[in-house]
Amino acid sequence: MGKEAVIKVDSLVKKYGDLAAVNGVSFTVNRGEVFSFVGPNGAGKTTMVEILVCLRGLTAGNATVLGFNVSDRKGQQQIRKRVGVLPQDFNTFDLLTVKENLSYYKKMYDGGMDVNELIRLVDLEDKAKTLYKNLSGGLKKRLAIAIALVNDPEVVFLDEPTTGLDPKARRDVWDLIEGLRDQQKTIFLTTHYMDEAEVLSDRVVIISYGKIIAEGTPSELILKHGGKTTLIVEEGGTEAYEVLRERFPKARVDNGDVLVPINDKSDLPDAVMTLNSNKTKFAELVVRRPSLEDVFLNLTGKKIVGGELD
């Protein structure tokens, strides 16, 4: 896939009074990729999206979407025609059906996708005539994504699309998003779920307090900042910790589990043998490869729990 930049952001700053919500951010998004903006609540993700879809003005720097400048009136008109947006916490008309809701938003555009096809795309066919208020949370999100696609956009902005969904519904939405990639659409995703960013994205930007702290593909980031594989001695407790700490001084206890960083080829067999010879009690042994969560932890010293920094 040839690289064509569909979104270019250069030294973008957005201030509210003295508070900088976005503080000098630069990045590029290429056509056809799934690009994620990950970070805790308040990091500036939604502000970034709003600026790119021309809902808000920027304070300094500049940004273009599909070659059009977000600060330029005419540019804005062009952008609006060509992008699809799923805002955070979006709900649509309670008293309209799935199909009626889609038709409503379609009217705002010239052309766009066929409504029935769209319904099929998001797998809501048997709910086409159901009122929005009678849909489950997961199905509501599916409709919301469909609404964002109603004008067959080149770029789709999804602002925290799985927040508040149960695990099954989240998986559903992930599948949908994967499906969109097949349609050569460019997807700009914001989320505070590290696993989501890791699973879905071609490229990731980690943002905290309005600044980018890392950028790259998930594998690149994990390789650079993820740290090592970890051996988890589940429910090993202080007993396992005492047994292991001499050989593994960097081991630590976390919530009853003992986490042992594995650096060498010999580390893993050594650890297992140590536990075995001491007949240490534990629930299970799990070998965990590093993830984006580890990347974030290593870069900031914090975890994101429920969207907030911990």
Partner 1 sequence: MGGALRIWFRSKHTLFWTFAFPILLMLLFGAIFSVSEDPRFDFYVQNQDLINGEPSPASAAFVAMLNETGVLKLKMVDPAANTAEYIDKEGVEMMLLIPEGFHQSCFTQNASIVLKTVPPEVDTSAATVRGVVEQIVEVFNTIATGQNPPQVVTLQQESLVSENYRFIDYFVPGLIGMTLMTTGIFGAIGWNTRNRELGILKKLATTPLSKLEWIIGVVLFELVMCAVSTAVILTVGVLVFDLRVLPSIYSIILIIAGAITFPGIGMVIARFVKETDSADAAANAVTFPMMFLSGSFFPLEMMPEFLREIAKVLPLTYLNNGLRDSMVYGNASSALYNTVIVLVVGIVFIIIGSIITNWREE
Binding residues for partner 1 (CB under 8 A): 53-57, 77, 80-81, 83, 85, 87-93, 95-96, 100-101, 103-105, 108-109, 131, 147, 151
Nearer to partner 1, 108 or 286 (CB): 108
Nearer to partner 1, 105 or 241 (CB): 105
Nearer to partner 1, 14 or 203 (CB): 14
What DSSP letter does each residue of 256-276 carry, written as one string?
TEEEEEE-STTHHHHHHHHHH
CB 268, min distance to partner 1, A? 49
CB 88, min distance to partner 1, A? 8
Q: What share of the chain is helix, strand, coil (3-state, %, to 5)?
A: 35, 30, 35
CB 127, min distance to partner 1, A? 17
CB 129, min distance to partner 1, A? 12
Nearer to partner 1, 185 or 203 (CB): 185
CB 145, min distance to partner 1, A? 12
Beta-carbon contacts of 79 under 8 Å, excluding residues fewer than 6 positions away, are 53, 54, 65, 66, 68, 70
Q: How many CB atoms sit inside 10 A of residue 193's CB?
A: 19
Helix, coil or strand: residue 282: coil
CB 84, min distance to partner 1, A? 8
Nearer to partner 1, 151 or 201 (CB): 151
CB 4, min distance to partner 1, A? 23
Q: What angle do CA 136, 55, 201 make, to 5 degrees?
A: 60
Do 53 and 43 meet the contact criterion of CB atoms below 8 Å apart?
Answer: no
CB 79, min distance to partner 1, A? 9
Closest C-alpha to 239, from 275, 272, 270: 275
Nearer to partner 1, 52 or 232 (CB): 52
Q: Which helix (H) or strand (E) holds 125?
A: none
Nearer to partner 1, 131 or 213 (CB): 131
Eight-class DSSP state of 19:
E
- Residue 217 carries which side chain, given as an amino acid letter? T
Beta-carbon contacts of 178 under 8 Å, excluding residues fewer than 6 positions away, are 200
The first and second tokens of residue 81, run together, are: 């025609």
Q: Which residues pair with 188 in a beta bridge?
A: 35, 157
Do 232 and 249 meet the contact criterion of CB atoms below 8 Å apart?
Answer: no
| Cα 273 from Cα 280, distance rounded (Å) | 10
Nearer to partner 1, 16 or 224 (CB): 16
Closest C-alpha to 86, from 30, 142, 43, 169: 142
